[in-house]
Structure 1
Amino acid sequence: MTELWWQWLGLWFSAFSSATILPGTSDVVLVTMVNAHPQWWAWAWLVATVGNGMGGFASYWMGRLLPNKYKAPSKMIGWLHRYGYWALLMSWVPFIGDGLAIAAGWLRLNVYLSTLMLVIGKFARYGVLIFGTLQIIA
């Protein structure tokens, strides 16, 4: 496993950047990693979830640092007002998820509950990808 350190780092970085406004390809990297090393699927799930969760946390804090005169995307604010923290379970959705995390920070939602919901959503998404990949290669 230690000889794969650069691959683990690449997976983490890809997952992190995918959860920010930076472009990322975490799905492709995760599926490739699991396909190449199916015995390490649990570690891949953990590394991708931690990286993506940290990226979501960074997006939350980007929103938190925005001045009040800035207006976060109204659609995201509407979802957060309507569904509360539960809306953050959808933070894995491309483009929408970044806006949700930023809007949650801008609205000053509780950091602990926001982070929990961000991570749960990302954990579930990567689980679906991993188990789908394992079914295909089995």
Structure 2
Amino acid sequence: MEYFTELGHIGLFLAAFLAATVLPLSSEVVLVALLLNGLSPASLVTVATVGNVLGALVNYALGYWAGVAVIRRWLKMSEAEFVSAEKRFRKYGVWSLCLAWAPVIGDPLTVMAGILRVRLLWFVLLVTAGKLLRYVVIAWMAG
């Protein structure tokens, strides 16, 4: 994470983007480190949110264009797990995308949104709202 921190805003953008994909990274650590170095909370929250939403859009695109079999293999899901995830998404609907920031469930939610062809406008609005709120809370707690 130190490498990302040394890159400042660009490092935060990269960390946030990659963390929104299936890579095990934590953009929150980079955000807090940069906040403690005195960088502007507003600019950092903005950069982190944009990077994280763009990463989630990659997941959406994979779900939208890749076949279900490819996605199941990629996420290492059995048929039963996939059906269960699809049922949960359908049960809670697009509003569940506000939780796209959450560990473990966030990435599959954004992929499932692509598979189920959620309207892109709703996807971007709800994912952005959830991710922005998370970064605002982290910045507030670190300040």
For the aligned pair, the TM-score class normalised by the smaller chain equals 0.7 to 0.9
Displacement of 1:95 in angstroms is: 2.1
Q: List alignment gaps of at least 5 residues for structure 2.
A: 73-81
Which position in structure 2 is the counterpart of 1:65? 65
Which position in structure 2 is the counterpart of 1:30? 31
Q: 2 CA distance for matches of 1:82 and 1:44? A: 34
Displacement of 1:94 in angstroms is: 1.2
Displacement of 1:35 in angstroms is: 1.1
Displacement of 1:68 in angstroms is: 4.5
Which position in structure 1 is the counterpart of 2:137? 128
Displacement of 1:131 in angstroms is: 0.2
Q: 2 CA distance for matches of 1:91 and 1:28? A: 18
Percent of pairs with identical residues = 33
Aligned residues: 130
Displacement of 1:10 in angstroms is: 0.4
Which position in structure 2 is the counterpart of 1:74? 83
Go from structure 1 to structure 2 and tell me whether the alpha carbon gap of 1:123 and 1:75 turns closer, same or farther (over 3 Å shift).
Answer: farther
Alpha-carbon RMSD across the aligned residues, in angstroms, is 1.9
Which position in structure 1 is the counterpart of 2:118? 109
Q: List alignment gaps of at least 5 residues for structure 1.
A: none
Displacement of 1:5 in angstroms is: 9.2
| Structure-1-length-normalised TM-score | 0.86
Q: 1 CA distance for matches of 2:83 and 2:68? A: 14
